[in-house]
Amino acid sequence: MKDVILELARIAQAVSGNEDPRQQAVTIVELISESMMVDVCSLYMAEEDGDMLLLASHGLSSSAVGRTRLPQGKGLVGLVAQSRHPINTDNAQQHSAYLYLAETHEERFQSFCGVPLVRRGRVIGVLVVQGRQSRQISQQEEAFLVTLASQLSLLLDGVSVAIAQPRNSNVRRTGVKGSSGVGIGSVLLCGGTELYGVADCPCADSELTIERWHQLLAQVRSDIETQQRTLDPEFSSSIAAVFEAYQLLLSDKALIDSVEQQIRQGHDLPSALKRSIQQLSDLFLSMDDPYLRARHEDIQHLGNKLYSAWLGEDLRNTTVDGPVVLVGAQVGIAEIAQVPAEQLMGIICYEGSSLSHTAVVAKAMGIPAVLGVGALRGINGGETIIVDGNQGQVILRPSASLVAEFGKLVNDDNELLSQLANLRDLPAQTTDGEVIRLFTNTGLLADIAPGVRHGAEGVGLYRTEIPFMVYDNFPSEDEQVSTYRKILDAYPDKPVCMRTLDIGGDKQLPYFPIANEENPALGWRGIRFCLDNVQLLMTQVRAMLRAAQGKNNLRILLPMVSASEELDSFRELLLDACQQLWQEGYQVSQPRLGVMVEVPATISQLERWSTQIDFVSIGSNDLSQYLLALDRNNARVAQRYDPVHPSVLAEIKRVVDIAQRCDLPLSVCGEMASDPVAVVLLLGMGVKTLSLSAPRLPRIKCLLRSLSAADAQTLWYEIAELDRAQQIRNRVGDFLRGKGLEALCR
């Protein structure tokens, strides 16, 4: 018997060379019949109506392939699909479910073993082997087939989709959400000048080529400097560090020497560059740490940039007409900066993760972005494409009706936003007079202006790790003072909740990689990391206190607190920091202190802690993740994640009740705070403060001003009886539609 993993690897490799799903199916049945030494191997796939189509067969009559269909539930194949378990018999004809189909000529085969192909709980097909001799397929062979089928269904999902969706337009590709929003535009390909495609060429004069190499470096350095200067000042301070990283790479002796060495070994400049960049990129790719691994994109992009410059081409020589979507293996920050902001509708990267610099910048600019969609082969510059950053998908070759549909979405949104602008200075007051405070979440300095512009009444969550992420080292106390002062100054007399450094989990610092954690979400992060590296926390707290000197608006928020010991340790440290600064002559005052409610263990301790803290903030993303034991970034389970799950709502209500009883101000700062369905329920539970990203503020304010708190409360008691997230979404959706508020809810 073959090893099933090796067999699967063999099949996966064989089908990878072919993009036609029917051809892939043929390859699969040929390989299986060969390795299992059976007379027949057939693949049946479910059509939309449940009929089973004989898609490919080794052994059955070729005239039946692609034509023969078994009606739902009929025949042995239908029984396998319906019962969801293998059928293994040494005499198929005598089985009660046997159905004779003349065109297959299967009467020659007595033994039959069929196993279901299942994907996401649904039977998508049946894999059958048959044999001439009346000998039963052995238990071992059946087990092998079941195991093979369990993995094959992953491979065959594409075949299944292709059969259900044969047309070539409206092709959807799923990736990672990089930045929310929807955009439509014509494709502008980036990095068309791919360094990796360069052929090896010998070099005639190595000294001259090395000289040319240094000229090229100088030219690109100066190009980047120019770009740095011409950046939109609103987000320049955040992005400067990224450009700085390119400049550092361009000055890296390792890269410079490596290219020189390749040239001395006889390569011309492009092939020397290709080889050196590849080596450097491989080095990063081999690193365990996901953040460092993601940095290989920067290296490759830089390589392409150097090559473009060598070719004398550059994006800025391309004229950009109308709305544009940047598409490429990677899309560099320099390329983003070259397209006028009002024309840039979206960004699509074949590679990359939500940690890529591209994603960080797209979020800061409010441009929809989807990353990691895989290579979009055959895509042409100029064709229309849709980027749906909300769903993390892109739509290739959209039909006119789909373009119109998404176009309407975009237009309605824009129109709505311009209408909402006049709410800026009005309170988020419900129709029955309840006033909800709307704070904003920020992290990049670039977020400050939009927050103020959209009327935020303070900062509910300032993520201090984001400025840490763009540095090359831990920022010094003075550097942090200057950063924090900017945000405190932008919100005079309004509260600014600064969360202490919350790295770990999915947030990594390039200069402090926390690698090799099996479950980083349950690992060394938040306050745990900071108390173990207490010197970093001390510097940060000192910087916060110094920045807040003479102001009254600093609040400190602690992430991932789960035990009294942690809270006590932090309070001691805070007092120590104050005393140090008083001794040094600073006039600092003790800020209000709050904890994030995100670790479930926090809930039952809140009452006990209420005398030691001044406020709480529910981090609904992490709280839902831990309560449901579901990583929403994991595509295999993400569809099961919904924060309006009845248990998540019940636990949040528990927190709201404790906070009310203990007189602790409470806010909600996760994505629930900008999800209209969740906002209605939070209002119904008695939540009085929400903190959300600036672009979502006007919409949520308008929603709150259109609702009555009493109605929301009634609705909350009603849905507390429902036991499925989808039922809850439907019920609240009906409620909002009943009030004519559907436009606010997209």
- For a second copy, the binding residue among 213, 235, 626, 735 (CB under 8 A) is 626
Do the Cβ atoms of 652 and 620 come closer than 8 Å? yes
Residue 627 CB, shortest distance to a second copy, in Å, is 5
Question: Which residues between 370 and 389 bind a second copy (CB under 8 A)?
Answer: none
292 belongs to the binding site for a second copy (CB under 8 A): yes
Radius of gyration of the chain, Cα coordinates, nearest whole angstrom: 30
Q: Near a second copy by CB under 8 A, which window of 81-89, 216-224, 270-278, 344-352?
A: 81-89
Phi, psi for 183 (deg, rounded to 5): -140, 145
Cα separation of the two ends of the chain? 54
Residues in contact with a second copy, shown as a per-residue x/- string from 582 to 621 under the rule CB under 8 A: ----------------xxxxxxxx--x-------------
575 belongs to the binding site for a second copy (CB under 8 A): no
Question: Which residues between 21 and 40 bind a second copy (CB under 8 A)?
Answer: none
User: Closest CB to a second copy among 350 and 474?
Assistant: 474
Residues in Cβ contact with 44 at an 8 Å cutoff, skipping those fewer than 6 apart? 52, 53, 54, 55, 70, 77, 125, 126, 127, 128
578 flagged as catalytic: no
Question: Which residues between 209 and 248 bind a second copy (CB under 8 A)?
Answer: 248
| Burial of 729: CB neighbours in 10 Å, binned 0-12, 13-18, 19+ | middle
72 belongs to the binding site for a second copy (CB under 8 A): no
465 belongs to the binding site for a second copy (CB under 8 A): no
Question: Which residues between 1 and 20 bind a second copy (CB under 8 A)?
Answer: 1, 3-5
Residue 52 CB, shortest distance to a second copy, in Å, is 15
Quick one: angle between helices 357-365 and 296-311, nearest 10? 80
- For a second copy, the binding residue among 266, 290, 407, 733 (CB under 8 A) is 290
Q: How far is CA 358 from CA 277, 278, 320, in A?
A: 20, 21, 20
- For a second copy, the binding residue among 85, 108, 132, 661 (CB under 8 A) is 85
Residues in contact with a second copy, shown as a per-residue x/- string from 297 to 336 under the rule CB under 8 A: ----------------------------------------
Residue 209 CB, shortest distance to a second copy, in Å, is 27
713 belongs to the binding site for a second copy (CB under 8 A): no
Neighbours of 681 (CB within 10 A): 24
- For a second copy, the binding residue among 23, 278, 569, 621 (CB under 8 A) is 569
- For a second copy, the binding residue among 256, 630, 743, 745 (CB under 8 A) is 630
* Catalytic member of 267, 301, 357, 454: 357
- For a second copy, the binding residue among 247, 524, 686, 711 (CB under 8 A) is 524
Q: Which long-range contacts (CB under 8 A, 24 or more apart) does 582-588 make?
A: 586/545, 586/546, 586/549, 587/549, 587/550, 588/545, 588/546, 588/548, 588/549
Helix or strand holding residue 666 (H, E): strand 666-668
Residues in Cβ contact with 379 at an 8 Å cutoff, skipping those fewer than 6 apart? 187, 189, 327, 385, 396
Residue 632 CB, shortest distance to a second copy, in Å, is 9
476 belongs to the binding site for a second copy (CB under 8 A): yes
Q: Near a second copy by CB under 8 A, which window of 40-48, 325-333, 556-564, 732-740?
A: 556-564
Residue 140 CB, shortest distance to a second copy, in Å, is 7
Closest CA to 743 of 703, 701, 695: 703
User: Closest CB to a second copy among 559 and 594?
Assistant: 559
Closest CA to 82 of 70, 91, 94: 70
- For a second copy, the binding residue among 163, 444, 648, 702 (CB under 8 A) is 648
| Burial of 234: CB neighbours in 10 Å, binned 0-12, 13-18, 19+ | middle
DSSP 80-100: HHHHTS-EEES-GGGSTT---
3-state helix, strand, coil in the chain (%, to 5): 50, 15, 30
How are beta strands 554-558 and 592-597 bridged, if at all?
A: parallel
Residue 585 CB, shortest distance to a second copy, in Å, is 12
Q: What gap in Å lies between CA 14 and CA 23, rounded to an integer?
A: 11
User: Closest CB to a second copy among 463 and 542?
Assistant: 542
Closest CA to 455 of 118, 705, 698: 698
DSSP 24-58: HHHHHHHHHHHHHT-SEEEEEEE-TTS-EEEEEEE
User: Closest CB to a second copy among 356 and 440?
Assistant: 356
Residue 85 CB, shortest distance to a second copy, in Å, is 5
Residue 352 CB, shortest distance to a second copy, in Å, is 15
467 belongs to the binding site for a second copy (CB under 8 A): no
Question: Which residues between 715 and 734 bind a second copy (CB under 8 A)?
Answer: 723-725
Question: Which residues between 242 and 281 bind a second copy (CB under 8 A)?
Answer: 248, 252
Phi-psi region of 222 (alpha: psi -120 to 50; beta: other; left: phi over 0): alpha
Structure tokens at 640: 């099961």
519 belongs to the binding site for a second copy (CB under 8 A): yes
* Catalytic member of 113, 530, 669, 702: 669
Q: What gap in Å lies between CA 201 and CA 253, rounded to an integer?
A: 24
Residue 605 CB, shortest distance to a second copy, in Å, is 6
Question: Which residues between 125 and 164 bind a second copy (CB under 8 A)?
Answer: 139-140, 142-144, 146-147, 149-151
How many H-runs (helices) and E-runs (strands) does the chain carry?
Answer: 26, 23
- For a second copy, the binding residue among 21, 59, 116, 131 (CB under 8 A) is 116
How are beta strands 344-349 and 111-119 bridged, if at all?
A: unpaired
Three-class secondary structure of residue 689 per DSSP: strand
User: Closest CB to a second copy among 170 and 580?
Assistant: 580
- For a second copy, the binding residue among 226, 411, 419, 634 (CB under 8 A) is 634
Three-class secondary structure of residue 485 per DSSP: helix
| # binding residues, a second copy (CB under 8 A) | 102
Residues in contact with a second copy, shown as a per-residue x/- string from 478 to 507 under the rule CB under 8 A: xx--------------------------x-
- For a second copy, the binding residue among 406, 474, 491, 570 (CB under 8 A) is 474
Cα 245 → chain centroid:
24
Structure tokens at 175: 């990736």
408 belongs to the binding site for a second copy (CB under 8 A): no
86 belongs to the binding site for a second copy (CB under 8 A): yes
Residue 252 CB, shortest distance to a second copy, in Å, is 8
- For a second copy, the binding residue among 200, 288, 432, 472 (CB under 8 A) is 472
Do the Cβ atoms of 28 and 43 come closer than 8 Å? yes
520 belongs to the binding site for a second copy (CB under 8 A): yes
Residue 368 CB, shortest distance to a second copy, in Å, is 24
Q: Near a second copy by CB under 8 A, which window of 218-226, 381-389, 535-543, 736-744?
A: 535-543
267 flagged as catalytic: no
Q: What gap in Å lies between CA 671 and CA 183, rounded to an integer?
A: 21
Three-class secondary structure of residue 652 per DSSP: helix
Structure tokens at 624: 């839902």
- For a second copy, the binding residue among 115, 348, 361, 487 (CB under 8 A) is 115
Residue 693 CB, shortest distance to a second copy, in Å, is 23
Closest CA to 452 of 483, 484, 486, 419: 486
Catalytic residues, by residue number, are 357, 669
